[in-house]
Amino acid sequence: MATSRIEQAPQVNRLRSLWANGGCAFGAIATIPSVQSVQVLARSGLDFMIVDMEHGPIDASSAHAMIAATGGTPLVPLVRVAGKEQWHAKIPLDLGAMGVCFPMTSCRVDAENVVKAVRYPPRGERYWGPFYAPLRWGMAMRDYLDGADDEVLAIGVIEHIDAVETAAEVVSTPGLDVVFIGPGDLATSMGLHGRSEHPDVQSAIARIEQAVQGSPVVLGGVATNADQARAMIDRGYRALMIGFDWSLLQRGIATTLEGMRGPA
């Protein structure tokens, strides 16, 4: 008996259409290796989730389960990898991630590596092995391979003071889709650990924003409240992370307790 073919219509990366229509995508960073927490995130109204394999205690097996848990939901699963080398993207992509986020994208060469890592030849240097990605996308293998280059997102993170001067060359790299500004590491690189609100850090962020604005690259960042989000959208941001899974849980509990306990 012939092997049955998956007869579902190919699923596209809905973030691309959202941005093409001028919208802003909202997401969160998942650091807890939990299918259950992803199921909650995926049904909470978020547009995307970044599985954190850079700082969170998440291995390939956990990442696979978390990516698979987004199936059947509108949430777009992305992965943040731990290094800048192209091989870091292989496993997340073959597990079904719809984009890979590379840290410390600080120059044109870094940005080119991001693009090459997520595109198949001749457009890039990704090689064959997507055993589970087509299952997450609800597609046959051939359909996945035919569409992956156009659907997967090449994402860089500008998060070092040295990259402020080179941000323009980063965003001029053909094929780069998104740049996130990482305020935490940027502040750390300036000797201002944990003080991303410092005027010097904010000045550096403004210079990066200026470099990205007007380029074809989507500008992404972190907004933890509605006022901040609206201000950032007005400055051209189209991808905003509202927090980590642990911080959202922590904030939710704190708000609930505050309401129950009343004023001190």
In angstroms, the CA 174 to CA 165 distance is 19
Question: Residue 81 is encoded by which pair of tokens?
Answer: 């990898």
| Cβ count within 10 A of residue 241 | 20
The DSSP line for 170-205 is HHTSTT--EEEE-HHHHHHHTT-TT-TTSHHHHHHH
Placement of tokens 């300036």 in the chain: 190
What is this structure's pTM? 0.91
Give the model's pLDDT for residue 263: 66
In angstroms, the CA 155 to CA 48 distance is 13
Angstrom distances, CA of residue 147 to CA of 11, 115, 128, 152, 207: 10, 16, 14, 9, 35
- Tell which residue, 132, 50, 139, has the closest CA to residue 93: 132
What's the pLDDT tens digit per position in 113-137?
999 999 999 999 999 999 999 999 9
The DSSP line for 206-238 is HHHHHHHTTSSSEEEEE--SHHHHHHHHHTTEE
Give the model's pLDDT for residue 264: 60
Is the distance from CB of 47 to CB of 75 less than 8 angstroms?
yes
Give the model's pLDDT for residue 194: 86
Three-point CA angle 89, 91, 95, nearest 5°: 115
Up-side HSE of residue 111: CA atoms within 13 Å toward CB? 21
The DSSP line for 23-71 is --EEEEEE-S--HHHHHHHHTTT-SEEEEESSSSS--HHHHHHHHHTTT
Is the distance from CB of 190 to CB of 204 less than 8 angstroms?
yes
Domains and CATH numbers, the chain: 14-259 (3.20.20.60)
Give the model's pLDDT for residue 10: 45
Give the model's pLDDT for residue 228: 95
- Tell which residue, 158, 264, 261, has the closest CA to residue 217: 158
> Could you say which residues of the chain have pLDDT below 70?
1-11, 263-264
In angstroms, the CA 97 to CA 110 distance is 20
Is the distance from CB of 175 to CB of 153 less than 8 angstroms?
no
- Tell which residue, 217, 251, 219, has the closest CA to residue 233: 219
**Is the bond leading into 122 cis (omega within 30 degrees of zero)?**
yes
